[in-house]
Structure 1
Amino acid sequence: MTDAQRILVVGGTSGIGREIASRYAGEGWAVTLSGRDADRAGEVAAEVGGGATGIAVDLSRPDDLPAVLADVGPLDHLVLAAITRDANTVREYDVAAATYLVTMKLVGYTATVHALRDRLSTAGSIVLFGGLAKERPYPGSTTVSTVNGGVSGMVRTLAVQLAPLRVNALHPGIVGDSPFWAGKDAATTAVRERTPTGRNVAMADIVDAVDFLIRNRSVNGVDLFVDGGWLLQ
C-alpha cells in the first residue's frame, strides 16, 4: 500500500465520518467526503484540509448515485459511514421511516458500491458501518436491528463478488464523545458501568478500527465489534 492512497468517505461531514476523513487528509491521502448538501460538504472538506474535496451524495436516492458519483475515482478505499437513527416498533410501525432507512443503508450502500465498482482498486478495501442493535435489540430498534443484520449479509456477498477487493463491516458500541451521545451522561454512564474495559468507546477508537480494516490485507468478510466487550455483559 503506497502513501498516496485515494479514499471516499460517504457520510463524512460530521461525527465519526468526519474524523475518518480528517485522519487520512492529515496523512496526505487524496480524500473525498460526502454529505447530503453540497455546500456543507465543501465547507467541511475545506476545514479538513489536505486538499480534500466534498460532494453531495444522498443514499436515500439510489437511482441518482451513478450520476452524482460519475466524477469520483479511481479509488483505493471506500468507507460507507452514513447512518440515520430511527425509532420504530412493530406495534406502531412507521412504514415510511422504515422504507427510508432500508433504502438508505441497504440499497444505498450497495448502489454506491455498484456505481464505483470499476473504479475501486482490487488491492483496496470497503468498510461498511453497521451497529450493535443487530446483536442486542432495544425498544424501537425494529428497523435498525434488521438493517444492521443486513449489513452483515452484505459484507459476505460483496466480499465474494468483488474479490480480491476486501469488504468488512464495523459495528460500533455507544461512542461516548460522538455528537449524538455527548452530554447524554445517564445513558453513557450506564453503558460504561456494564463494559468490561470500564470506559465508553471513543471516536478515536472507531477511526483506529477503520484504519485496521483498511490496512490489514488479510482481514476480509468480517464483522468487527468495537464495544469494549459490552456485548459480553
Structure 2
Amino acid sequence: MSSVLVVGGTSGIGREFARFRAGRGDEVVLTGRDAHRADTAAKETGALRGIALDLSRPREIAAALGGIGPVDHLVLAGVARDDNRVSAYDIEAALNLVTLKLVGYTEVVHALRDRLHDDSAIVVFGGQAKERPYPGATTVATVNAGVRGLVHTLAVELAPVRVNALHPGVVGDSPYWLAKPGEVLAGLRTRTPSGRLATMADVVDAVDFLLRNRSVNAVELAVDGGWLLG
C-alpha cells in the first residue's frame, strides 16, 4: 500500500488517476481549488479525503498541506485552460498559468520536502503543446516547455527521489476533448500514426509506470500515439 497525493484530482486525468490508485487499495489524498468539490471528488473516487489547494496562490500551499503525512507518490496534475496570443496578450491570464504550474508545482514539492523519502517518486504534468504550438498556446507552450527544466532540476536537488514528466497529446475521451466536434477528433485521429487518440486510461497507466519503475528518472514521456509524427 502506498500513500498517494494527487494535486489537481477533482477532474479529468487527475481524478481518474486518484480513482485508479484508490481502487488498488492505496491511501489517496486529492486536492482541488474548492473544498466542497475536493471533498465530493474524494468520496466519489474512493480517496481518503480531499483538501482545498489553489496552485495559483503559492503562499497558501504550505498551510493547505499541513495535515499531509509521508508521501510515497506525488502527482502534480493541476492545470488551467488558457487561450493567449501575442497579438492580444492577456497578462493576468499568463501570470496565472505561469504561477500555477511553475511556481505552484515547485512550492508543493518545497512544502512536502520533509515528507518525501528515498523511494518517493513525483510525476509532473506538461503537455505536447510545447512541441506543436497552436494559435492561442503562447503561454501553454512556454509553460509546458518549462516543465522540462523543472523536472531536471528537481531530479538533481531531490535525489534519490525520482522526478519525471508526463506530456499527454490529444486525450480523446477527456472532458475537454469530448466537447470538441466529432470532425475535429476524426481529423486528429487521421493524423495520428497509431490510428487512435490517447485515452485517459492510457495516461493513467503511463503515470503509474513512471511512479513505479525505480530505474526511470528525469524522463519526459509523451503519450500521444505518435501524434507529433503525423
| TM-score after normalising by structure 2 | 0.98
Task: State the alpha-carbon separation in 1 of the partners of residues 184 and 158 from structure 2.
Answer: 39
2:64 corresponding residue in structure 1? 68
In the alignment, residue 3 of structure 2 is paired with which amino acid?
R
Any idea what SS the aligned residue of 2:60 has?
A: helix
Among 197, 201, 220, the residue aligned to 1:200: 197
Deviations 1:114-148 (A, max 9, x none): 00011012201000000001001111111001000
Q: Which residue of structure 1 lines up, in the alignment, with residue 207 of structure 2?
A: 210
1:129-140 map, 5 Å: 129-140=125-136
Q: 1-side partners of 2:90 and 2:42: how far apart?
A: 35
SS in 2 for 1:122: coil
SS at match of 2:166: strand
Q: Quote the residue 1:226 is aligned against.
A: 223
Aligned to 2:53: 57
Match of 1:123 in 2: 119
RMSD over aligned Cα atoms: 0.8
Q: 2: CA distance between counterparts of 1:25 and 1:181?
A: 25
Which residue identity is paired with 1:53? R
Alignment match, 1:155: 151
Paired position in structure 2 for 1:173 = 169
Q: Does 1:186 find its partner at 2:151?
A: no
1:100, 1:187 → 2: CA distance?
A: 28
Contact 1:45–1:52 (8 Å) recurs in 2: yes
How big is the shift at 1:58?
A: 0.1
Q: Distance in 2 between matches of 1:150 and 1:63?
A: 21
CA deviation vs aligned residue, 1:1-31 (integer Å, no higher than 9, x gap): xxx1000000101111110000110011000
The SS at the match of 1:88 is: coil
2:84 corresponds in structure 1 to 88
Q: Please give the alpha-carbon distance, in whole angstroms, between the structure 1 residues aligned to 2:37 and 2:94.
A: 26
- For residues 15 and 221 of structure 1, the distance between their equivalents in structure 2, rounded to whole angstroms, comes to 24
| Partner residue in 2 for 1:114 | 110
C-alpha contact (below 8 Å) 1:73/1:120 kept by paired residues: no
- 1:78 lines up with 2:103 in the alignment: no
Aligned length: 229
Q: Distance in 2 between matches of 1:124 and 1:109?
A: 16
Structure 2 CA distance, aligned partners of 1:221 and 1:78? 15
Gaps of 5+ in 1: none
Q: How far apart in 2 are the matches of 1:52 and 1:176? A: 29
In 2, are the aligned partners of 1:80 and 1:129 still within 8 Å (CA)?
yes
Shift in Å, 1:91: 1.2
Tell me what 2:8 maps to: 11
Q: CA deviation at 1:159?
A: 0.2
TM-score (norm 1): 0.97
Q: Structure 2 counterpart of 1:212, which letter?
A: F
Q: Is the partner of 1:157 in helix, strand or coil?
A: helix
For 2:99, the equivalent position in structure 1 comes to 103
Q: Percent identity?
A: 64
CA deviation profile, 1:43-70 (whole Å, cap 9, x unmatched): 1111112x52110010000001111111
Contact 1:20 1:207 in 2 (8 A): yes
Aligned mates of 1:149, 1:82 — CA distance in 2? 16
> Shift of residue 186 of structure 1?
2.3
Return structure 1 stretches of 4+ with deviation > 2 angstroms. Answer: none
Q: Secondary structure at the match of 1:67?
A: helix
